[in-house]
Amino acid sequence: MKALALSMRLLVASAVVGCAGPAGHQRVADSRADLDAAVVCCTNLAEANRSPLPTGKDAAVVVIDRTRQVFDFGTHKAYFVLYELPPFRQAYSVEFSSESQGPHTDATLFIPRVMLLDSEFKPTRSFDDKGLRHRGSQVERTIFINEKDAAERYVVVYGSDLATTIERTYAMITATPVFAGPVMFNMVSGSDQKGIVRSSPVGALRLQVNGLEPAAR
């Protein structure tokens, strides 16, 4: 029984280590090197590939990585996605949320910037990292498309140029198998640990459109 309990502890420990993967600073360094070497897609966003804004009931998961287009936004190069807004019929909102990735001890986070454009691809509104809502391990941004914004035709989401780290506290839960005769149970303990979140040019977004009814057929 003692040997079995020891092997189970080792199994849990190896699983935690195996999930760690490369350190966050290495993941960020690699992704920044890829971005620096990437060729911009175009000199004007009017030439970029675009997709219709996802308007389904379920949130769309948008992966931002080295397979995405790259554009020079004036202050920096960034991976981006460009969506065409539907013709305005009613007010609605679009929520973007970005979840940190990697182990709690050294995680990375894609910090989204959002810019809206008119039919001539001229910027009408822009939102940087200021004003993002922080909720747990993610950041969120909601933009509203009202009647006064009816001339807006496109929205582009791209990565921030921030090179920063944030320290956060997370709960570390440990389960230790304990045997009492033939019965095994887990003794659970916990403690607060410190971790790092690093801004990254890549990550994953959840995009949710609210208040927009599907177009009639």
pLDDT in tens, 67-126: 999 999 998 999 999 999 999 999 999 999 998 888 777 888 999 999 999 999 999 999
pLDDT in tens, 13-71: 333 333 445 687 888 899 999 999 999 999 999 999 999 998 887 788 999 999 999 99
Rounded CA-CA distance 25/28 in Å is 5
Return the pLDDT at 20. 46
pLDDT in tens, 35-45: 999 999 999 99
Return the pLDDT at 217. 46
Beta carbons of 3 and 177 less than 8 angstroms apart: no
Return the pLDDT at 4. 31
Rounded CA-CA distance 160/136 in Å is 20
What Å distances lie between residue 1 and 7, 10, 87, 174, 180, CA to CA?
10, 14, 68, 20, 10
Rounded CA-CA distance 35/203 in Å is 13
**What is the token pair recorded at 84?**
């065409």
